Amino acid sequence: MRRNSRALERALAELAQQQLLRRCLTLEGADTPAGVRVCGTRTPLINFSGNDYLGLARDPRLAERMAECARARGAGSGAAHLVTGHGPEHAALEEEVASFLARERALLFSTGYMANLAALTAFTGRGDRVLLDRLNHASLIDGALLSGASFARYAHADAQALAQRLGASGTAPDAGVLVATDGVFSMDGDVAPVAAIARLCRDHEAWLVVDDAHGLGVLGPSGRGTLEQAALSSEDVPLLVGTFGKAFGSFGAFIAADAPVVEYLQQKARSYVYTTALPQPVAAATRVALRIATSEPWRRERVLALTERLRSGFARAGIPLSSSATPIQPVILGSAAQAIAAQVRLQKAGFLVAAIRPPTVPAGSARLRIALSASHREREVDALVAALAETLAALPDAGGASTQNQAERT
């Protein structure tokens, strides 16, 4: 044990030397809708690092419904869904999510990570093949590894590369093939070519999983995500994974699919069967969030308008633009040291913008990940642009290091 402890200490020291050691900031709310404060400090910061795209995480209507439900039904569910943990709020939320997405059924999970594990492990096994976008979320990669299937990655957002993988030999005649992709990629903010991927999957009789955690609530004519934007149905995409902790401002996740698919998941998905159900107060608050997202489309319109405002400000300030048209706007800096230095400078200027470093992103593509919310104000976006321009100008070799985004995708 002593020797192992020394090895761990050396490994941690090496991470620190490489500026890859990550620590949690303990935050509390500040006076403004997007304001936060690091505990123990007095200076408020404008949070440009979260995923609260519709500004619902601090909406009092969600908090009031959560408290009301907790008083009536308790703070925890007390058991797995299939034992005694499934309550009326869970059942209602599953029905409302299915209706929202025009799917026959939905199944709740405690986290998006667990939902992705379920999608891949329940439907693939030894002898099957899983094909993943190179920049997929870690949970999809882990699901492929846990499934026991062989898996390969294709070039990021490249339908032609996927076609080559699908056409390659090596799958037994009775084996299954499953393709999994993010809808919106969480670190780059770009959108997968889901329509082209769905056509390829139909042609090759492959199942398709789309994790639309960052698209739901934001994209599409009515906020139903990347699949609505591409006019795709459950026939095109049999398994749709979504989360409640981003645009919907609460917590938890789901898989929406045809009824037999959900029933099979309910029987076979280990990350559903063997875990405690989401607390009912969380489900109750999420039901409110769904109603707000549907009845207040201005939230979606506002966050997309702020995205355009930020990008226009970047263009005027000479800040390199990514290909993202979503509220996720990365600024690629290259090295972890530059990303950390930029984060520190922006924090001193009053902005919380997280430095994202490997292994979350590929080596050489450390970045600032700016994420916009409907709760941001125009003047806050403009002030961030000005502060970021000053920050990048002060970084050594900032201009040359900020153009690596496309290269890192290949």
Enzyme catalytic residues: 186, 214, 246
CA distance linking residue 67 with residue 63, whole number of Å: 6
Q: Which tokens is 205 given?
A: 């009789």
Q: Which tokens is 149 given?
A: 């299937």
Apex CA 16: angle with CA 390 and CA 348, to 5°?
25
306 burial (CB, 10 Å; 0-12 / 13-18 / 19+) is: buried
3-state secondary structure 270-301: HHHHCCECCCHHHHHHHHHHHHHHHHCCHHHH
CA distance linking residue 120 with residue 142, whole number of Å: 9
CA distance linking residue 170 with residue 92, whole number of Å: 44
Give the strands of the sheet with 328-334, arranged side by side.
Answer: 328-334, 366-371, 354-356
Rg (CA), the chain: 22
Q: Which tokens is 53 given?
A: 């795209």
Q: Which tokens is 90 given?
A: 């869970």
Q: Which tokens is 180 given?
A: 């999994």
User: Nearest 5°: phi and psi at 28?
Assistant: -135, 160
β-bridge partners, 85: none
User: Nearest 5°: phi and psi at 6?
Assistant: -65, -40
Spell out the alpha helix ranges (H) of 74-134.
Answer: 88-100, 112-123
Length of the chain: 410
Helix (H) or strand (E) holding 219: none
CA distance linking residue 78 with residue 188, whole number of Å: 38
Following DSSP, what letter does each residue of 334-390 receive, concatenated?
ESHHHHHHHHHHHHHTTEE-EEE-TTSS-TT-EEEEEE--TT--HHHHHHHHHHHHH
